[in-house]
């Protein structure tokens, strides 16, 4: 049987960095967003929040659920019954935004490929 070339895969990794100061310490808050298409067994969109080097939350397009990753965050949000639902809605909005951005970038892909292969 003929060997077919692998199908191209799109992967876009976007980083958001926000540093926040709380006296007397400084904490760095990072959010990592990935969008992908046609990757087997991998969500189309993943969002991960980090404080310094500790993961604090997680969302992906397969589960469509915002999850807290630290017990201290669960304790802090116990008094806010709507917190997880609100953060899930925000995450769905981020997913749609990043999907649109990736789709727009893919529209330029043929032009970029053509420019690269002209050399």
Residue 5 in domain: no
CATH assignment at residue 57? 3.30.500.10
d(CA 52, CA 40): 31
| pLDDT attached to residue 1 | 47
pLDDT, tens digit (0-9, with 9 covering 90-100), for 3-37: 555 555 555 555 555 555 555 678 888 889 988 88
- Domain assignment present for residue 3? The answer is no
Q: Based on the structure, what is the number of domains in the chain?
A: 1
- Give the pLDDT score at 117: 72
Domain that holds residue 45: 10-117
pLDDT of residue 111: 72
**pLDDT beneath 50, residues of the chain:** 1
pLDDT of residue 105: 80
Q: Exposure pattern of 103-113 as b/e (b: 16+ CB <10 Å)?
A: eeeeeeeeeee
Widest CA span of the chain, in angstroms?
66
> Is 70 domain-assigned?
yes
In terms of Cβ atoms closer than 10 Å to its own Cβ (0-12, 13-18, 19+), residue 7 is exposed
Report helix, strand or coil for 117. Answer: helix
Task: Determine the pLDDT at residue 8.
Answer: 54
């Amino acid at each position: 049987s003929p060997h077919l070339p692998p199908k191209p895969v799109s992967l876009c990794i976007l980083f958001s960095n926000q540093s926040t100061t709380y006296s007397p310490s400084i904490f760095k808050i990072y959010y990592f967003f990935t969008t992908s298409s046609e990757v087997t067994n991998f969500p189309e969109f993943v969002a991960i929040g980090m404080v310094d080097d500790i993961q604090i939350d997680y969302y992906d397009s397969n589960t469509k659920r915002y999850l807290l990753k630290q017990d201290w965050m669960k304790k802090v949000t116990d008094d806010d019954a709507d917190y997880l639902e609100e953060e899930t809605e925000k995450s769905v909005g981020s997913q749609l935004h990043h999907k649109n951005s990736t789709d727009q970038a893919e529209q330029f892909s043929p032009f970029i490929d053509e420019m690269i292969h002209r050399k």
